[in-house]
Structure 1
Amino acid sequence: MESFGGPTMGSTYSIKYARTQGLPAPKEVQVEVEKILADVDRQMSTYRSDSDIERFNDLPADRCQTMPAPILELVRVGEQLSQQSEGSYDITVEPLMNLWGFGPQAREEKVPSAEALANAMQRVGHAHLHIDGNQLCKDAAVEVDFNSIAAGYTVDTIAARLEGLGIHNYLAEATGELKAAGKKLDGSPWKIALEEPRDDQQVAERIINVDGYGVSTSGDYRNYFEQNGHRYSHTFDARTGAPITHNLASVTVINPSTLMADGLSTLLLILGPERGWDYAQKHNIGAFFVIRADTGFVTRTNQAFERLSGGKTE
């Protein structure tokens, strides 16, 4: 079994694959993977001022900018998810994240004034974006944030490159989003541990088998602040301009597309334990919910998730 990894997107990535005769050496594969990571960073990072998306974000209203195809693809996915969630999910929430203290230009974590919130909301909404040929345009001073889908896109792109190199048995992971295909060298399936969200430690909650699917978990249990006894998550409902306040702690989605798993796990987390569950059932999305309860956490999983993850293994 070959493996390598390193830093990416403010976190890490890791690749494991079963190397058989004729397959490239890990160093060659790593060069190919890190080219993809560098492209994503240069195009989509909100933490570097020279990225394509940050140059677009700096533009005033009624401007357009030529964009690489991957950015236009993610804008279209963002629009689809926004429409499907009736506007709760939105890739233009960066002004809200900065205002509440979670974004790249954030200063302090605090509850904003009603006036400041109303001003920020004027710059939020997917309807302010449109694509014209290979240009992305805005009719308000919106700022795009791909953090809910960029890692999933990256994993899918890496997986496609591995397949192109003849590697069909692999586990590719970036910032916690992952895709696995085939088997390990010993013929056993790739096993993924889903953790129970605890603030004090990581505890494996459930082990699943993955073959040919992307897996993404979105949760509010690592990035939040508390003020006057209220807990404020870094996950926003774009319709209200405020962090989610319900008791859904995390959602894991399994999907053939890691990009869609990434976006859908965020969408379901925003919708919450009831609306999110109903949405997953209606659209046949494999989902694993972890819900806060008085006694700790309770989990809920649907048939689509059980089918795609090979049934309960623990």
Structure 2
Amino acid sequence: MLQKVPKQYLAQTRRIFHCNCKIKIPIAFGEQLLEKSFEILEEIDRKYNSYVSGSYFSIINEKRGSWVTVDQDCIEMIRTIHKVSVITKGHYDITCMPLLKLWGFYKENSHKLPKSNELKSALEKVNFRTILTDGLNVKINTNQEIITGSFIKAFAVDKTIEFLKKQGITDAIINAGGSTISALNDADHPSWKINVPDAFNKDEFKTGLEINSQTFSLSGNVDNHLIIGGKKYGHILNCITGYPAETAQTGVLTKNAFLGDILSTALFTVPAAMLDEVTAELKKHFDFDYFIIDNDNKKTLTECFQYLR
């Protein structure tokens, strides 16, 4: 009996979106197609990343208070984000940059707890409802700043997956920083196995998750936090209180990466007392599975994540 020959893949990793992005495709499609895939990621980075000068969101921030002409993709992203922010009652808000700066996430040292009056002042600048759109035009308030970190990398992954599909690829995986992992699968390779890092120890992993033409999105603070007065403060903020969210890790399974990354961040920000209400409302609009682990290691899981128990 002939043994089935394992499929061979081409894989390459590059630094984009301030993280390592790895693309893996069947070897038969060649290095040129792999190169084009990375070009798509890099183009999205240049075109939309708020950290990149000249991008749409960078210009919106620079010209705050004035209308800026963008493209339809930009408008659609803002509309979806607005819907999620409404459902989370503003706990997830992409205008949170003043809070991040106040906490010192862009400083290397001299971290300290914000004073109450400083938090109050920063919170007055955070309000997703004042992001205005009119056709292909966008405007934010003069004291606002949008940050794209919770969604733009995933948007780029979706665009790259769309490209791979158009080239006839039915089996591939893109891993963007370990927090956005998007797969294509076919009958010969029905799933990709994913290791999920432990919520409290980044060197330990939980095994058991398989994704089949899906995206797994992960949010956590185990390796992105500040230590102030001996206490850890994570980088994902509750935009109502101004303090870091009381969550250790969230994971979401979706059909596309953009939605998955938004939801994993949004669920991270939602207080435990609101969680049932918020997830029920989100389920009315979006198809997803999720898990949430709080700082006391209390877990909320949908069925596909039962191996985390």
* TM-score, length-scaled by structure 2: 0.86
Gaps of 5+ in 1: none
The structure carrying a bigger strand percent of its residues is: 1
Q: 1:270 to 1:143 in 2, by over 3 A?
A: same
Alpha-carbon separation, structure 2, partners of 1:250 and 1:232:
13
State the 1:207 CA deviation.
2.3
Alpha-carbon separation, structure 2, partners of 1:299 and 1:114:
31
State the 1:265 CA deviation.
0.6
Do residues 149 (structure 1) and 151 (structure 2) align?
A: yes
Among 156, 163, 166, which residue is 1:164 paired with?
A: 166
Alpha-carbon separation, structure 2, partners of 1:302 and 1:268:
13
Alpha-carbon separation, structure 2, partners of 1:129 and 1:48:
20
Q: 1:281 to 1:79 in 2, by over 3 A?
A: closer
Alpha-carbon separation, structure 2, partners of 1:97 and 1:19:
43
> Where in structure 2 are the equivalents of 1:72-151 lying within 5 Å?
72-103=75-106, 108-151=110-153
Gaps of 5+ in 2: 1-8
What is the SS of the residue equivalent to 1:168? coil
Tell me the equivalent position of 1:51.
55
Alpha-carbon separation, structure 1, partners of 2:70 and 2:85:
21
Tell me the equivalent position of 1:207.
208
State the 1:91 CA deviation.
0.7
Do residues 279 (structure 1) and 282 (structure 2) align?
A: no
State the 1:276 CA deviation.
3.1
Tell me the equivalent position of 2:301.
301
Number of aligned positions between the proteins: 296
Query: RMSD over aligned Cα, in angstroms?
Result: 2.5
What is the SS of the residue equivalent to 1:242? coil
Aligned residue type for 2:196: L
Aligned residue type for 2:205: A
Q: Is the 8 A contact 1:281 1:302 kept in 2?
A: no
Alpha-carbon separation, structure 1, partners of 2:281 and 2:75:
28
Alpha-carbon separation, structure 2, partners of 1:4 and 1:152:
18
Alpha-carbon separation, structure 2, partners of 1:46 and 1:208:
32
Q: 1:34 to 1:268 in 2, by over 3 A?
A: same
State the 1:13 CA deviation.
0.6
Alpha-carbon separation, structure 2, partners of 1:106 and 1:125:
27
What is the SS of the residue equivalent to 2:164? helix
Task: Please list the CA deviations of residues 33-58 of structure 1 after superposition, one character each: whole Å capped at 9, or x if unmatched.
Answer: 22222222212323333332222212
Tell me the equivalent position of 1:268.
267
Q: Is the 8 A contact 1:179 1:214 kept in 2?
A: yes
> Where in structure 2 are the equivalents of 1:183-194 lying within 5 Å?
183=186, 187=189, 189-194=191-196
Aligned residue type for 1:109: H
Q: 1:133 to 1:281 in 2, by over 3 A?
A: closer
Q: Is the 8 A contact 1:99 1:106 kept in 2?
A: no
* TM-score, length-scaled by structure 1: 0.85
Of all paired residues, the percent bearing the same amino acid is: 21
Tell me the equivalent position of 2:74.
71
Q: Is the 8 A contact 1:57 1:141 kept in 2?
A: no
Alpha-carbon separation, structure 1, partners of 2:208 and 2:277:
24
Q: Is the 8 A contact 1:220 1:234 kept in 2?
A: yes
Tell me the equivalent position of 2:251.
252
Alpha-carbon separation, structure 1, partners of 2:20 and 2:292:
25
What is the SS of the residue equivalent to 1:216? strand
Task: Please list the CA deviations of residues 219-264 of structure 1 after superposition, one character each: whole Å capped at 9, or x if unmatched.
Answer: 12221123234432111111122222x2x31011001121111011
Aligned residue type for 1:78: I
State the 1:14 CA deviation.
0.8
Alpha-carbon separation, structure 2, partners of 1:55 and 1:107:
29
Alpha-carbon separation, structure 1, partners of 2:184 and 2:41:
20
What is the SS of the residue equivalent to 1:80? helix
State the 1:106 CA deviation.
8.3
